[in-house]
Structure 1
């Protein structure tokens, strides 16, 4: 089972991130839309140039046919001009389609950057909180233990720097189960993993990051 490190802590972190996330999202999205607008403007200019070129080609071929003084030549020249004009118009449409796709891709790329930025900020906030409040692991462990049911024995794995604090405060964690604490350098400070008779409870910083990631991805898809 996976649970956020602590519901109160998670809520506070999400509120701290939300305002910054929204601000950065607006800034980056505005940049993406500006870049996309430039792409479309350039495409429209190119399309207009192609249209003018097509009209000029029609005019030139018509004049050529008139100079030659032959109706047949005029009709041939007209067909050639129309074909050339249609070709140029299709090129113009293609330019606009490519520009629109480039605009959408630019915005998609920016959205991905926004999520990466928000996750990086979240990770810094979490680690900073752990450094400032060294007893964070106690709140985390209590929350995780509250999720365990029907288990007489618990084994808590925590970072060695947190394991000593947990060992010293076992009585504060619970009076319902026997608890053993084991240091595990693979677990970041501030989090823990609990083994019980009914499975594991994951309450690590990494699990918290996954929760935040789900929130951000869910927000993007809404």
Structure 2
């Protein structure tokens, strides 16, 4: 059998060719395996990221629920506090009104007592003056009568009659003067009482307004009660009352169904504690000064009865 002889170079080439033919599939398999591993890693990472995303979404949902719950709790707390403050303001306003009524009754009693005292004093003074003049007139009359008797019955009678008429005329004049004086005293005492009552009333009202911030709220409430048809409202108040009235704006709207819209504005011509309500049909004057004027008018009418 003949031998096949290879040159060394050919052998090497043959080996290389054989190696190449065998190695190529192996490398391809390894590359596929590597890519499969990478794909598997990507899938695992994708699943892990998805799980993390779901966990984050659950955590977000939980935080949102906690936040909503916290907001709801805070809102309930605020509503409860507002209700408590409003109720407290109403109670305080009721106390203020009760105190004002008590003080008004006390003022009326004081005015009546003062009037009675002045009348007693004036009546005593009038009685004293009348008694004094009556004594003087009686003495003069007795003197004239005695003189008439001494000068003769006829002449004395005539003179006594003339003197008596003269004294009687003087007495009538004095009585008229006393009646007029009594009227002056009573009129003067009435004016003094009225001025005293109004001075005390102004001081009491000012003290109440300065010490109780809820007076303006009660004043606005009472004014709004006079509205009898749907309308837009403008509430004019003093600068010092702007904040508290503005804070109660929604409360007024919810309380009075006839209010279409409500606006609070400052007015330098309105004193503290008072207000003027502008409607589509006119104004409601609830200024403190106007209320005091009405009180003064009632006091005048009351005093005119005596």
Partner of 1:208: 291
Partner of 1:136: 215
> 112, 117, 124: which one pairs with 1:30?
117
The 5-angstrom pairing of residues 24-63 of structure 1 reads: 24-63=111-150
Give per-residue Cα distances to partners, 1:21-79, cap 9 Å, x unaligned. Answer: 313431342133223312222222212212221221122133123xxxxxxxx523431
Structure having the higher Rg: 2
Determine if contact 1:17/1:121 at 8 Å carries over to the other structure.
no
SS of the residue corresponding to residue 171 of structure 2 reads helix
- Alpha carbons of 1:94 and 1:8: their partners in 2 closer, same or farther (altered >3 Å)? farther
Partner of 1:94: 173
How many angstroms apart in 1 are the aligned matches of 2:236 and 2:271?
11
How many angstroms apart in 2 are the aligned matches of 1:11 and 1:218?
24
How many angstroms apart in 2 are the aligned matches of 1:116 and 1:147?
31
Determine if contact 2:271/2:287 at 8 Å carries over to the other structure.
yes
Partner of 1:185: 268
The 5-angstrom pairing of residues 25-174 of structure 1 reads: 25-65=112-152, 74-174=153-253
Determine if contact 1:156/1:192 at 8 Å carries over to the other structure.
yes
How many residues are paired up? 209
State the TM-score, normalizing by the size of structure 1.
Answer: 0.82
Determine if contact 2:216/2:273 at 8 Å carries over to the other structure.
yes
- Alpha carbons of 1:32 and 1:187: their partners in 2 closer, same or farther (altered >3 Å)? same
Determine if contact 1:40/1:103 at 8 Å carries over to the other structure.
no
- Residue 217 of structure 1 pairs with residue 300 of structure 2: yes
How many angstroms apart in 2 are the aligned matches of 1:143 and 1:31?
38
How many angstroms apart in 2 are the aligned matches of 1:221 and 1:99?
21
SS of the residue corresponding to residue 174 of structure 1 reads helix
Determine if contact 1:47/1:93 at 8 Å carries over to the other structure.
no
> 11, 14, 29: which one pairs with 2:101?
14
State the TM-score, normalizing by the size of structure 2.
Answer: 0.62
- Residue 198 of structure 1 pairs with residue 284 of structure 2: no
Q: Compare relative contact order (CA 8 Å, sep 6+) and give the higher one, 1 or 2.
A: 1
Quote how far apart the aligned CAs of 1:11 are.
6.1
Q: Which runs of 5+ in 2 are unaligned?
A: 1-92
Determine if contact 2:150/2:156 at 8 Å carries over to the other structure.
no
Quote how far apart the aligned CAs of 1:194 are.
0.8
How many angstroms apart in 1 are the aligned matches of 2:247 and 2:94?
24
How many angstroms apart in 2 are the aligned matches of 1:35 and 1:54?
28
